[in-house]
Structure 1
Amino acid sequence: MVPGNQTQFTEFILLGFSEKSEQQGLLFGLFLGMYLVTVVGNQLRMLAIGSDSHLHTPMYFFLSNFSFVDICVVSTTVPKMLVSILTQNKVISYAGCLTQMYFFIVFGGLDNFLLTAMAYDHFVAICHALHYAAKMSSDVCSLLVLLSWIISLLDSLLYCLMVTRLSLCTDHEIQHFFFDLAEVLKLSCSDTLTNYALIYFAAGLLDFLPLVGILFSYTQICSSILKFPSAQCKYKAFSICGSHLSVVSLFYGTGFGVYLSSSATNSSWKSTVASAMYAVVTPMLNPFIYTLRNKDIKDALRRLISRIATSQ
């Protein structure tokens, strides 16, 4: 925040979903349950992929990274909310706010890029199968993940630097369960035109273009699959792509819901619920979507659980 005549705050109050004491126990149990399911589900998927040599392929390499990022997404926001509910202390420092916002944007961006990388992997595997080994080598996959990290880190840093230029002087209470960028801009009494311009530009460049790439990839994939002579091959290809498309729909659907609810309505409650769907519910559902629709991961999980059981 820049110095000025406005009242500046060094800490804020995250009001969360409800201030009613009788609802705090229910909220704590609900979000603790979702957090544990998310962490355990994604860790099991990572362990299954890492322990099975048959799954050491580009698709599962990206999927393992995706699981790690989903754990990080929920760990950025939910633990702080749980501690606030448990201690009835909803105060968060300004430095803590910026840190939370920074990492939430980083991991949200990583989810976006990893979904795009997985779509590209499916596109090459189905549409350019003869060149798959060369185009999706381990070096190429590592480079795609590295670039995803670099772009996400720089993008989030730019957002945070823009926020530090604002004077937040209207209120220090935030009707949200984490320090969300959209809510921060509502608190500002500075000119936020530059910030909104940056948001729309970055959304178009780093959110819309990857989505266009995913849709283009699947247009080509569907066209190629329909040319397969074997019905079994068609089913297997559609099954693999269907899991990814389900996660893409969930991710972008809830993501757009957050920003539409923030811009189209003044209801902080609706915006908070939409953010919870995006930041908590989606990472929890992703392991189930991929595991239940993927025979290879289910088999790897059975072998992993069997090894654990026999070693005890």
Structure 2
Amino acid sequence: MCFENETEVTEIYLLGFQSLHNLGPLLFVVLLLLYIAIAGGNLSIIYLVMTCDNLKIPMFFFLKHLATADVLVTTSVVPMMLEDILKSNPSISVGGCITQLFFFCIFGFVQCFLLAVMSYDRYVDLSNPFQYIVIMNPSFCFLLAFGSWALIFSIAFSEFALIGQFEFCGCSSLDQFFCDYSQVMELPTSDTTIVLWMDFFVSIFIFSFPLTFILVSYIYIFIAIIKIRSHTGRQKTFSTCSSHLTTVCIYYGTFITIYLVPSDKSLSDLDKYRSLMYTVVTPLINPVVYSLRNHEFKKVLTKRIKQFFIRKF
């Protein structure tokens, strides 16, 4: 229960980009166009993987799940942010804030495990090409992808079940454009010690374990590439991993910039711009990376675009 001099918080006010208030219409248009590009690019990947026989291989199966996570993590934030730009005093209910944060965490952190699974797929393809289809069979691929989603969902659910029982009294504003975990956890008047420690260990596991797995996988991949005598063969083999490796660097680079680099509370807008990188920039870059750096995907995409214009004109 709240104390007598405190009122129970039912609405949380999002301060957003107050310094850019005069540029609201321009910011709305830019973010809307970026969101359309993100949704269009990632949904195109999902559609092509589902409909093209040439892309029905494990690597693109996992890419489809990664694109799904990209769309969902952006959708959990940007549409509400667009609505808030048009409001003079944007707010969200406490339940809505916790729900947004819950799904944002799921869609964001599941990418760590999907990228780890994709690195294992690249390792198996290069180290044991003759048994690749047998090892990475459809059932095993489904188990890896579904297991990634299920693991993150179960971890997030157990943590947010505790957060949902917190009492929110007094302070009711966030200096952010969405419900950011670190700021939300400063609002409850309940004891948050257990949840904060739980989040600390969970974050280490979710971040460190997949990253370590990816690094070890690529060490073995690079060793296998070095053993290839032909320069052309090494170049061709490395090109099959370049798209995934680029995505890993973008994702973890952004992740480190946002969550591991110390933030300065006096520069609150800087933290917002860093968060914007994760919610908008990274999901926008991934489709571009795979459409430009992956030969097979680029070939299928070009073919579909040509077919579309032939039918239209």
The answer to whether structure 1 residue 247 and structure 2 residue 253 are counterparts is no
Alignment-derived partner of residue 223 in structure 1: 223
Amino acid at match of 1:33: L
Q: 2: CA distance between counterparts of 1:177 and 1:288?
A: 26
For residue 187 of structure 1, give the secondary structure of its aligned residue in structure 2: coil
Report if aligned partners of 1:122, 1:241 keep a CA contact under 8 Å in 2. yes
Residue 84 of structure 1: aligned partner: 84
1:72-121 residue CA offsets vs partner (Å, 9 max, x unmatched): 11111000010111243511111211221111111112211111110010
Please report how far the alpha carbon of residue 47 of structure 1 lies from its aligned counterpart in structure 2 after TM superposition.
Answer: 2.4
Contact 1:49–1:300 under 8 Å retained in 2: no
Return the offset for 1:26. 2.3
Aligned to 1:190, what secondary structure does the other structure show?
coil
Q: Distance in 2 between matches of 1:146 and 1:56?
A: 17
- Determine helix, strand or coil for the equivalent of 1:7: coil
1:179 — aligned with what? Answer: 179
Please list every run of 5 or more consecutive structure 1 residues that lacks an aligned counterpart in the other structure: none
Deviations 1:269-301 (A, max 9, x none): 222221111121100111111111111111101
> Does 2:149 correspond to 1:122?
no
Partner of 1:149: 149
Q: What code does the residue aligned with 2:72 have?
A: C
- Match in the other structure for 1:61: 61
Counterpart residue identity of residue 136, structure 2: M
AA partner of residue 96 (structure 1) = G
Partner-residue secondary structure (3-state), 1:143: helix
1:20 positional shift: 4.8
> Which secondary structure does the structure 2 equivalent of 1:92 belong to?
strand
**What residue number does 1:138 align with?**
138
- Deviation, 1:209, is 0.5
Note if contact 2:12-2:92 (Cα within 8 Å) is conserved in structure 1.
yes
For 1:13, what is the secondary structure of its paired residue? Answer: strand
Letter of the structure 1 residue corresponding to residue 138 of structure 2: S
TM-score (norm 2): 0.93
Could you tell me which residue of structure 2 aligns to residue 307 of structure 1?
Answer: 307
Q: Give the secondary structure class of the aligned counterpart of 2:18.
A: coil
Identity percentage over the alignment?
A: 33
Do the aligned partners of 1:13 and 1:90 also contact (CA within 8 Å) in 2? yes
Q: What do you get for the CA RMSD once the two structures are aligned?
A: 1.7
Q: 5 Å matches for 1:27-66? A: 27-66=27-66
* 1:167 aligned partner: 167
**The residue matched to 1:274 in structure 2 has which SS?**
helix
Tell whether 2:102 aligns with 1:102: yes
Q: Distance in 2 between matches of 1:133 and 1:21?
A: 55
* Secondary structure in 1 matching 2:76: helix
Report how far residue 251 of structure 1 moved: 0.9
Q: TM-score, normalised by structure 1?
A: 0.93
- Whole-angstrom distance in 2 between the partners of 1:166 and 1:140: 40
Q: CA deviation at 1:170?
A: 4.4
**Runs of 5+ unmatched residues, structure 2:** none
Q: Distance in 1 between matches of 2:226 and 2:74?
A: 38
Note the 1:289-308 alignment, pairs <5 A.
Answer: 289-308=289-308
Looking at structure 2, the residues matched to 154 and 305 of structure 1 have their Cα atoms a distance apart, in angstroms, of: 40
